[in-house]
Amino acid sequence: MVSTHTLRAEWLGNVRGDLLSGLVVALALIPEAIAFSIIAGVDPKVGLYASFSIACLTAIFGGRPGMISAATAATAVLMVTLVADHGLQYLFAATVLAGLLQLVAGFLKLGDAMRFVSRSVMTGFVNALAILIFMAQIPELVGVPSLTYVMVALGLAIIYLLPRLTTAIPSPLVAILVVTALAVFFEFDLRTVGDMGALPDSLPIFLLPDVPPTLETLQIILPYSLGIAVVGLLESLMTAQVVDDLTDTGSDKNRECLGQGIANTVTGFFGGMAGCAMIGQSVINVKSGGRTRLSCFFAGVALLFLIVVLGDLVAIIPMAALVAIMIMVSIGTFSWDSIANLKTHPRRSSTVMLVTVVTVVWTHNLAIGVVAGVLLSGIFFAAKVAQLFAVDSDLSEDRRHRTYRIQGQLFFASTGDFAKAFDFREDVDKVTIDVSRSHIWDLSGVGALDRAVLKFRREGTEVEIVGLNEASRTLVGRLGVADEPDVLARMQSH
Amino acid sequence: MVAKILGLIDGSQYTASVLDNIAFAAKRLRAEVELIHAIGRRDIGSAPSDMSGSLDLGEREELLKELAAHDEQHARLARKRGRLVLSDAAAKLAADGVETVSHDLVLGDLLEEIERRETGCDLVVLGKRGDAANFAKLHLGSNLERVMRRTSVPVLIAARAFRPIERVLVAYDGGPSISKALDWLRVSPLLKGTRIEVAKATGKSSDAELDRVCKTLKAEGFDARAKLLTGDPDDAVVAECEREAIDLVIVGASGHSSLRRFLVGSTTSEIVRACRRPVLLFR
């Protein structure tokens, strides 16, 4: 049962700050939602409806108060080919399915699996995301009237310089107003948001995606849904961590998975595209004083209100203003520290980060990049742990009996060193292998030990293994010691 | 075993009265006192906020540093103040003749801390409103409401001013909580020698149950009498306190229904809110 106290604190703990920050976020969400719709190749209203619906639903059902979720670049880049090849209705169906997959992930408590995503992979993720957002702006900057560049530059100048004068009003909003006013006043011939497709003129309505309910449809949308679900959860959980750190409060990661799932499932039925949490917007929210669920909820409501009321005005905003804002988002999302850190951080961590970035930029799929990063960091970790392995030996007085003492981690990555440590051709009658100070982690380790015993026997040497019980106690898969509370103490006592 | 009183203080205008109540109870119960001051949820209203809505280079790192610095400063001040509040309070109790006083500054949620400490504790004392909810607001402090709902030991809720307790009103509703209160009253040395008025709001002119309750109290040497009130129970009790110069009101947290075991009855909340006397609450 959720206590009324928590409920009140999570919604009404900071009303004034949340309403103000919600408004700032809503104003920033509008250009982003339009821009992300354009990335995905759909009408701006698809992204705007999605942002409204996702923001309100994650505010209610999510696990991280104060985090902003809406239509995002990370998920939008995954939809491009689906929309191009099959059309909008398949996108709605894929959005619903992605939501359902996220719900399953939430029920299976896969949020806990985030711990396998290392810091380097996360840094790679945000850097890749920033690069993707920037790359998505390039079509708007190629083959356009040169006036566009002037307008983008003006927009960026306002965004970055105005906060030095005042932090009371959102500078991106001022940038939009100034650029739009100039374009209208001087009748510049610039592409506008209205040229990019339909804007919402009413509240979203419930509709079933118009796709044939066949297995073939499922085959089409499943790969997209899977990618969207994974990327959505990754960015959401990562953003939750960012907000946790900024506000020094905790969040419920599995509830966040469920919240994202509910939001996407419902959003698909209301004509919206899939989304997830947004790092940049969440930072803006915290910076503007937002802390509770109310901020995200109000951002969604304010967004829809503004867009329905001001729809005609939104249509005349030049794309140049939007591009300026998206460049800002891209710059703000990128982890600039990570470039300076390339020099100081361990080379392997930097490699993981760079591989993640390169894979994403290459495939345009954040999920694949993260998988690559996680795999690589796993391999690096295994390689490192494999070094915690040593063998020494001594010969008895009569030179007839050798004792090998194995120390450290015996598993797939260290079996090579293990095998090399023995001199099978030595002229001794008996060999003792003392494994009591080693840990056998997997079947490869067991196999390596078996093979060593066999080889000695073939040479006619008698073999005795000492301490096998203690060593094999660490066979996690079979005995499940990792779940026992005293496992660490016991391992250290070996 | 020595009785133990847990006192919750926050340095608000109720603290002096809370300490007076504690001193009174500690002497009567021969109890040792444990004072805690909790620094809980951060005051987020004062965090720096910037409506520029723009994202600079390295905004995340920058913002994190800024917020951390802000929290650090506030936390240091809050701790310093908390230690002062506690040591002042302990000194005051010692001056009032309480022998054993310990005190702890707690970082974190007050309720969790109470739950951790309430075993072996005989009485929890706190003020009607906390530091955050000032007197101008008519509602109760949010911590108090949570304590009232969750704490299993008797809770003494201090009013703004303390006066020696001579006349006690028991707001009788026939529920299990108030029966528990009466059982406790009979054996506890806290209110020995006070005049007890067992009040119940009915329209009737006599009530056999009330008379029986008074009889058992008299048997323990209390100067007890039954009092029948009319009207809304909460209004009637509050008015009676004014009229009869009552010094303490005893209430049960919940009424009859066992379904409502986890809630605090609305009558009870209203009495705590409106009555300008300390209230002793039983679950």
Q: What is the pLDDT of residues A83-122, one digit of tens each?
A: 999 999 999 999 999 999 999 999 999 888 888 889 899 9
- Give chain B positions within 8 Å (CB) of A13: 41, 44
Contacts of B52 in chain A (CB under 8 A): 162-163, 166-167, 169-171
- Nearest partner of A261 among A62, A440, A420, judged by Cα: A62
What integer pLDDT is reported at residue A474 of this predicted model?
55
pLDDT at A371 over 60: yes
pTM, whole model, 2 decimals? 0.79
H-type alpha helices, chain B: 15-29, 59-95, 110-117, 142-150, 176-187, 208-219, 233-244, 266-274
Nearest chain A Cα to B147, which residue?
A5
Rg (CA), chain A: 28
Please give the helix or strand (H or E) that residue A389 lies within, else none.
strand A389-395
Q: Which of B179, B161, B149, B122 has the alpha carbon at shortest distance from B277?
A: B161
* Beta-carbon contacts below 8 Å between A and B: 105
Start-to-end CA span in chain A (Å):
45
Q: Is B64 on the interface with A (CB under 8 A)?
A: yes
CA–CA gap between residue B153 and residue B122 (Å, rounded) = 6
Residue A202 has pLDDT above 90, yes or no: no
Q: How confident is the model at residue A449 (pLDDT cuts 50, 70, 90)?
A: confident
Let me know: does B116 contact B83? Beta carbons within 8 Å.
no
* Nearest residue to B124 via CA among B98, B94, B147: B147
| Phi, psi of B216, deg, nearest 5 | -65, -35
Per-residue pLDDT tens over the stretch A136-145:
899 889 888 8
d(CA A209, CA A203): 17
CA dist A30 and A33 (Å) reads: 5
Tokens 């056998």, residue located: A440
Q: What is the mean pLDDT of residues A29-46?
A: 92
Per-residue pLDDT tens digits for A227-255:
999 999 999 999 999 899 898 888 999 99
Neighbours of B9 (CB within 10 A): 28
A286 to B52: CB separation less than 8 angstroms, yes or no: no
Strand pairing partners for B171?
Answer: B199
Q: Are B200 and B193 in contact (CB under 8 A)?
A: no
Q: Which of residues 146-205 of B touch A (CB under 8 A)?
A: 146
Name the residue among A47, A11, A55 with its Cα closest to residue A30: A47
Residue B234, classed as helix, strand or coil, is helix
Contacts of A87 (CB under 8 A, 6+ apart): none
Contact A170 B54 (CB under 8 A): yes
What 3-state class would DSSP assign to A308?
helix
Contact A160 B145 (CB under 8 A): no
CA–CA separation, B49 and A289 (whole Å): 5
Give chain B positions within 8 Å (CB) of A245.
64
Inter-chain touch A288–B49, beta carbons under 8 Å: yes
Beta strands in A37-173, from DSSP E residues, in sequence order: 69-71
| Token pair of A365 as six digits | 């799929």
- At A374, is the secondary structure helix, strand, or coil? helix
User: Angle, to 10 degrees, between the axis of helix B142-150 and the axis of helix A4-12?
Assistant: 160
- Residue A488 pLDDT: 47
What is residue B167's predicted lDDT score, i.e. its pLDDT?
92
R_g of chain B, CA atoms, integer Å: 21
Alpha carbon A295 to its chain's center: 22
CB atoms within 10 A of CB B169: 26
- Of B44, B47, B59, nearest to A283 by CB-CB distance is B59
pLDDT reading at A483 higher than 50: no
Tell me the chain A residues in contact with residue B56 when contact means C-beta distances shorter than 8 Å.
160, 163, 331-332
What value does the mean pLDDT of chain A take? Answer: 89
Interface contact flag, B55 A25, Cβ < 8 Å: no
Which pLDDT score is estimated for A7?
80
Are A376 and A383 in contact, with CB atoms under 8 Å apart?
no
Looking at chain B, which residue has its C-alpha nearest residue A292? B44
Phi/psi for B131 (5° steps) reads: -60, -35
Inter-chain residue contact A167 with B47, CB threshold 8 Å: no
Q: Which residues of A touch B107 (CB under 8 A)?
A: none
Assess B259–A contact: CB distance below 8 Å, yes or no.
Answer: no
**What whole-number distance in Å separates Cα of residue A275 and Cα of residue A283?**
17
Residues of B in contact with A279 (CB under 8 A): 60
Higher pLDDT, B209 or A368: A368
Distance separating alpha carbons of residues A58 and A24, to the nearest angstrom: 18
| Helix (H/G/I), strand (E/B), else coil: A346 | coil
The model's confidence at residue A298, banded by pLDDT at 50, 70 and 90, is: very high
Of B41, B55, B64, the CB nearest to A284: B55
- What six digits make up the tokens of B94? 């010692």
> pLDDT value at position A178?
94
Which tokens in the block code for residue B237?
């009790």
Secondary element (H or E) of residue A401: strand A401-410
H-only helix segments in A289-365 = 293-315, 319-333, 337-344, 347-363
Q: Cα(A313)–Cα(A307) distance, rounded to whole angstroms?
A: 9
Rounded CA gap, A245 and A248, in Å? 5
* Model pLDDT, residue B140: 64
Q: How far apart are CA B108 and CA B104, in angstroms?
A: 12
Looking at the complex, report in whole angstroms how far the Cα of residue A47 sits from the nearest Cα belonging to chain B: 20
Tell how far CA A31 is from the center of its chain: 22
What residues of B are in contact with residue A328 (Cβ under 8 Å)?
54-55
Contacts of A443 (CB under 8 A, 6+ apart): none
A-chain CB neighbours of B44 within 8 Å are 13-14, 17, 247, 289, 291
Q: Chunk chain B into consecutive blocks of 10 residues (it has 283) and report each block's average pLDDT, rounded to whole numbers.
A: 87 88 92 88 66 81 87 87 92 91 86 84 86 53 78 89 90 86 89 88 80 88 87 86 90 64 70 87 88
Distance from CA of A100 to the nearest CA of B (A): 31
Q: How far apart are CA A85 and CA A79, in angstroms?
A: 10
Q: Which residues contact A444 (CB under 8 A, 6 or more apart)?
A: A411, A412, A415
Whether A472 and A494 have beta carbons less than 8 Å apart is answered as: no
**Span of A160-164, A279-283, B174-178 with lowest mean pLDDT:** B174-178
DSSP letter at B258? G
Sign of the alpha-carbon torsion through A440, A446, A447, A448 = positive
The Cα–Cα gap between B257 and B115 comes to 25
